[in-house]
Structure 1
Amino acid sequence: MPTSALHVARTGLEAQDVRMRVIANNLANIGTTGFKRDRANFATLAYQDARVAGQQSSAETAYATGLNLGTGVSVQSTTSITTQGTLNPTGNALDLALDGDGFFQVQLPGGQLGYTRAGNFSRSAEGTLVTAQGYALQPAITIPEGASAVTIGPDGTVSANVAGNAAPVELGQITVASFANPAGMQALGDNYLAETAASGAAQIGAAGDAARGAIRQGMLEASNVNVVEELVDMIEAQRAYEINSKMISAVDEMLRNANQTL
C-alpha cells in the first residue's frame, strides 16, 4: 500500500523535533567548559517505485524517467563537532586546556576511565588533582602540602617548590589520550566521554606528541558553540516544523472532505 502524505509529513515533524532538541542542547551548553556541539543527521526513507526508469512503455520504447515516491525522513545519527573552542585565561594554576586534539583522563566511579576536555581541576584533601566531582586525574598527580609555585609544562610535566628542596621538584606528568575517531565516543554526561568500538582504543602519550594537543596552564577551553549559527539553524528547523504541521492539517482536511463527499 502506498505511503500517505500524512505519514511523510509526520516523519518530517519528528525529524525536525529531534533537530530542535539537538540545537537547544547546544545553546544550553554555550557556557560549558570544553563542550562540543552536536549536529543531527537525517536520511531519506525507502522509496516506493510506482514505475522504474527503463521499464517498457510499449513494445519498442522504454520510460526515460521513473515514478518514485518518497516515504519520509528518519534521524540517522548525531555527530559531535570536535573543533576546538577558544582558550580563555583564568589565572588559576590548576586550570588546564588542551591546545589541539586529545582528552584528559579521569578515574570514574566503578573503575571506568572517562575522557574530558574540561580541565578545571582542584586539589583534594589529600593533595590529588581532581575534577569538580572529586574524580582523580589519571595518571594521579599529588601536590604535597605546603607546595607552592605549581608549574605544568606544555608536555604535561608537573613541578612545584617543595619545602626542604632548593630547586623545583617534579611531581609527575599528565598524559593525554587521543582517538582515531573522537566523534564516535559515547557521551556520559558531566563533561565525560567514554571510548567505544567506533572511536577506537585510547592512544596515551605525552601532550604535544603525535598530534596530541599541548597543555596550557591557567587557561580553560570554551564551548565551540556559535550562537549566531545555532539561532539560524533553530529558525530554519522551526520553519520546517511549521510547514510539516501545516501539511498534516491540510491532509487531514482533504481526507475529511473526501469522507464527507463519498
Structure 2
Amino acid sequence: MKALYIASTGMSAQERNVEVISNNIANMRTTGFKRQRAEFQDLLYQQITRAGSQTSDQGTNLPAGVEIGSGVRTVATPRIMSQGSVEPTEKELDVAIRGEGFFIINMPDGTTAYTRDGSFDRSDQGTIVNSSGYELQPGITIPGTAKSVSISPDGLVEAVLANDSVPTQMGQLQLARFVNKAGLESLGDNLFGETAASGAPQIGTPNADGVGDLLEGYLEMSNVNSVTEIADLIAAQRAYEMNARVISGADEMMQSTTQLR
C-alpha cells in the first residue's frame, strides 16, 4: 500500500523540520546567529489517467486526470538574514553591524570566512581576533601601550597610546556583502563561507558602499523569535502526528484485507 510510504516521507520531512526548529531555539542567545526554516517540495506523481485523454471517438477529452503523489521531501533550509536586535556590552572591541555587511575573518588554513559576530579581543601580539582567535581582516595590531581603543561607525580604529592625548589611527575595518546572503555556507563557530550560490563578496567601507555601519560597545543578537519557533514546533508536531495516523490507518486496512483472505 503506497499510503505507508507516502506518510513515511511526511514523517521524515517533519522530523527534519523539528531538527531545524530545535537548532534555532538552541541558538537564541548566540551572537549574530541567523535562524533557518525548512522548505518542502512534493515528490513525483504517478499518472493513472492523464488529463486531456480522449474519452470517445467524437473527440471528447477528460477535464481532469488521476494523479497519485509520492509524498514530500525537504528541499532547502535557507537562513533568514534579517537584522537581529542590538544590545550594549560596554566592551570597547565589541562591534555590531547595522546593515548588510559581514566581518571578514582570516582562517588558519589561509581561507576567508565571514561573520556577523562582532565580539573581538586582542591576541598576545595585539592583533584584533575573534572569539576563536582568528584574525580580523585587514590585520590591525593594537600596541600594548594603548590606554584605550575606539572604533568609529566608519570602521576607523584608533588608540590613545601612552603619553599621548590625541588618538592614533591603527587601521580601517572593511565589510563584505553578498548578492545572495542566504546562499552562504554555515561553517560553525558563527562563521559563513562563500559558495557559488552566494556570489563573490563585495568589499566596502562601513557607512558607505551599502555594507552598513558599525556600533562600538554593542553586539548583534540572534534573530530567533521564541514565539514564532514555538508556534512552528507545534505545527510540525501536529503534522507528524497526522502522518503517523495515516500509517496506522493504512495498517488497519491491510489487516482487514488479510482477515478477509
Same fold (TM over 0.5): yes
Q: Which residue of 1 aligns with 2:40?
A: 42
Q: TM-score, normalised by structure 1?
A: 0.97
Q: Distance in 1 between matches of 2:130 and 2:100?
A: 20
Q: Distance in 2 between matches of 1:92 and 1:107?
A: 23
Q: Distance in 2 between matches of 1:166 and 1:13?
A: 66
In the TM superposition, residue 163 of structure 1 has moved relative to its aligned partner by: 2.3
In the TM superposition, residue 260 of structure 1 has moved relative to its aligned partner by: 2.5
Q: Distance in 2 between matches of 1:68 and 1:210?
A: 52
CA-to-partner distance for each residue in 1:190-239, whole Å, 9 max, x for gaps?
10000011111111111122210101100000100000000000000000
In the TM superposition, residue 103 of structure 1 has moved relative to its aligned partner by: 0.5
Which of 18, 21, 26 aligns to 2:19? It is 21
In the TM superposition, residue 166 of structure 1 has moved relative to its aligned partner by: 4.3
2:57 alignment partner AA:
A
Which deviates the most, 17-26 or 142-151?
142-151
2:182 paired with 1:183: yes
Q: Which residue of 1 aligns with 2:30?
A: 32
Q: TM-score, normalised by structure 2?
A: 0.97
2:253 paired with 1:254: yes
Number of residue-to-residue matches in the alignment: 260
Q: Which residue of 2 aligns with 1:74?
A: 73
Q: Which residue of 1 aligns with 2:152?
A: 153
Q: Which residue of 2 aligns with 1:8?
A: 6
CA contact (8 A) 2:148 2:161 kept: no
1:46 alignment partner AA:
L
Which deviates the most, 67-76 or 26-35?
67-76
1:44 alignment partner AA:
D
Q: Distance in 2 between matches of 1:231 and 1:129?
A: 38
In the TM superposition, residue 95 of structure 1 has moved relative to its aligned partner by: 0.3
Q: Which residue of 1 aligns with 2:222?
A: 223
Q: Which residue of 2 aligns with 1:55?
A: 53
Runs of 4+ in 1 over 6 A off after TM superposition: none
Counterpart of 2:230 in 1: which secondary structure?
helix
Identity %: 48
Counterpart of 1:79 in 2: which secondary structure?
coil
Q: Which residue of 2 aligns with 1:125?
A: 124
| RMSD, aligned α-carbons | 1.1
Q: Distance in 1 between matches of 2:57 and 2:209?
A: 66
2:161 paired with 1:162: yes
Which deviates the most, 157-166 or 28-37?
157-166
In the TM superposition, residue 93 of structure 1 has moved relative to its aligned partner by: 0.7
1:137 alignment partner AA:
L
